[in-house]
Amino acid sequence: MRAEHTAPKEAYANYGKYYVRVDKDAGTFTCGCEGYGDFWRDVRTVLHYGGKDVVFGTCTTEWRQPDFEDHTLLTVRFTGEVRAELVFKVRRDGVYAESKLSKGVTACFCGRMFWGDPEDCFAVRLCDNARILRSGVGPAVSADDNALFDRGRDAAVVFGKGSPDFSYDWEQKRFTASLSGKRWQVGVRERIYEDIYHMPYKPIRKQGTFPTPPVGWMTWYSVQFDACEEIVLQNAARMKELFGDFGASAVWVDWEWYNSSFHTEGPKGIDYFHPDPVRYPHGMQYVADRVTQMGLTPALWIGITHEPGRSEFIEAHPDTVLCKEDLWCGEYIFDVTDETYRREYVPKAIEAVRDWHYRALKWDCLPITLWVTDRYHESLRDPSLTSETALRRIVETARAQLGDDFYMLSCAGAADREIRFAADLFDGARIGGDIFTWKEFIEHLVSRVMRLYLYHNVLFYCDPDNVVIREEFNNFEQAVSRASFVSCLGLPFTMGDDLTKLPDARVEILRRCIPPLDAHPCDIGESACKGDTVVVNQCVAKPFEQWNVVDVLNLAGNEGAHTVKLRDLGLTAGKYLLFEFWSKEFCGICEDAFTVALRPYQSKVYAVRKLTGVPQIVCTSRHISAGGVDLCEVHYDENARTLSGVSQVVKGDEYVLYVYNPYTESIVTKSYMPCETGKLTWKMTF
């Protein structure tokens, strides 16, 4: 039996799914939503007056539901040194709050966020048009963020009116949110990707072949139809030698293994199940096994919605062919609604990938398949199916057979349609066309990333096509710019040059850009490439520090200058150290903005770190992320005036620390030549 005369210690208000609960003894409140539970918990109300925090004496509450109004009200009154009132209006779309304060009194509200799995939760800004391409690594936070997104549930806690100040507690593995201002609101926004972008949603699979964005080499862009068993294995060995300790692992055998040209029927006897015997005399399993023996990951191109010639399967089942057309990928296009094709050919083709010991696949020709299926719709075996539904069933068959731990890359990108129709089934998606020339780099990578980066590492890895940096298509500035752009966004990094012929200076570019960090978008919204300058802002969060890596890229063939404002980077007021990675130049201390002078096609990458007043790392030589790949621990002992840490280094690769010494207002460098790949412990005394 409940105690009849005990006054409740909590006050509660609810409307629809939302509720507010107030602990009257502690003076804290909690906001929540049915189905999600408490998402902002134990929020302290801090009153500030006369230059100090004010401790309230008592907290009383009043609940009210106004007649004919679509909300409930819960009023919290604080009394003590000052009087203040906090009025919660709980509505169907969220919790709204208004502070009624005495003159000169301000209020701040700070509490812990309980929202989703910490591994799947990150701070973002929900926006329509991002000014700068922003990526985050770890629990990165910014003054621009207004929401916490849960990748696991396609939902976000969104703050409105007031500007939240997010931070991250590394011990508790929880975000906190602080709000200032007289009015604010908070609520849950569900089905963000599914409803706004009209696509099936499933969070990216992080436990498969590539738990972080893959790094490797691919045949087509490097050697095209000259690809063969010998060249693949030569480049695999060279990649292992040059880049193995730097993070490269994937070897992609592209379409030349059973295609020999564009727009012609292939030689008889060569098809998906019968690779070219001249180019691959030992078969596809031999190549995969040799690559695996090198400690690398074999990956294979497939195009199972077509055949380049009249294969044995087509001879036995001619009705599975929808049409014969002169297409680049092969002349025989299967009817994707045909059950014999779906139940016999597709499982056999997918099983071959596993039997040949490949651990990833690149599924090409999806755009052409949709286009042809549309064009011949009335001739389909089952015209009641839309083209997208029919093709999706084929992908579902493959995914079910391979399981969730096998990496599937969709080679799409000509339009959003082929990227979105099976976004929940693929692990990666090409977001543009083939990229060789600088014009293609702008049109098929930069412009497409501006629009589609919001999908990256949320639904799948946005694959930017190969990073081609050889002299045939790039001067040195362009090579640096291409590699920098892909790396600073944490995109999959596939080398598209013959590694046996790549000059040392360009090898060095690649080494400094791999592996890409495991980055996520910080803006959920599409944007557009405007003007000749693009800015990428990557925020890196580690337990010991958070800093920004800013890539300023000149797309044009003439010199230019661009001013970067610190507030546009989401940075709070203060002094910041600037260090340009490629030139290894310390650019001084910045408070408001810095101007970048750029040569044609040039990219400059800046480490931007808040000035602490003690010796601090400004950059390292290992990676373009200025320590994001290599710094594991950093600590400054003020009594001993010693800066120490642990870094992940590569054997034989000179490792340089660039440290700002506030006592001399200069940069101090310390270098190491690691004898082994692994952890390096270092120390500097000032």
> What one-character-per-residue DSSP string does 426-442 give?
-SEEE-S----SHHHHI
Q: Is 665 exposed, middle or buried, given 0-12, 13-18 or 19+ CB atoms closer than 10 A?
A: exposed
| Alpha-carbon gap, residue 127 to 146, rounded angstroms | 9
Q: Provide the b/e sequence for 205-225 (b: ≥16 CB within 10 Å).
A: beebbbebbbbbbbbbbbbee
Residue 387 CA to residue 392 CA, distance in Å, equals: 8
How far apart are the two ends of the chain, measured CA to CA in Å?
69
Cα separation values, 431 from 453, 487, 516, Å: 9, 16, 17
The reported pLDDT for the residue numbered 6 is 63
Model confidence at 3: pLDDT above 60:
no
- Is the pLDDT at 35 greater than 80? The verdict is yes
Whether 526 shows a pLDDT value over 50: the answer reads yes
220-273, pLDDT tens digit by residue? 999 999 999 999 999 999 999 999 999 999 999 999 999 988 877 778 889 999
Q: Counting beta carbons within 10 angstroms of the beta carbon of residue 428, is it exposed (0 to 12), middle (13 to 18) or buried (19 or more)?
A: buried
DSSP 572: P
What confidence tens digit (pLDDT) does each residue in 297-312 have?
Answer: 999 999 999 999 999 9
Q: Is the pLDDT of residue 1 over 60?
A: no
Query: Rounded to whole angstroms, how far apart are CA atoms 464 and 440?
Result: 11
CA distance 184 to 160: 6
Nearest to 450 by CA among 133, 128, 126: 133
Residue 588 confidence (pLDDT): 97
What is the pTM assigned to this prediction? 0.95
Average of pLDDT values for 324-345?
A: 94
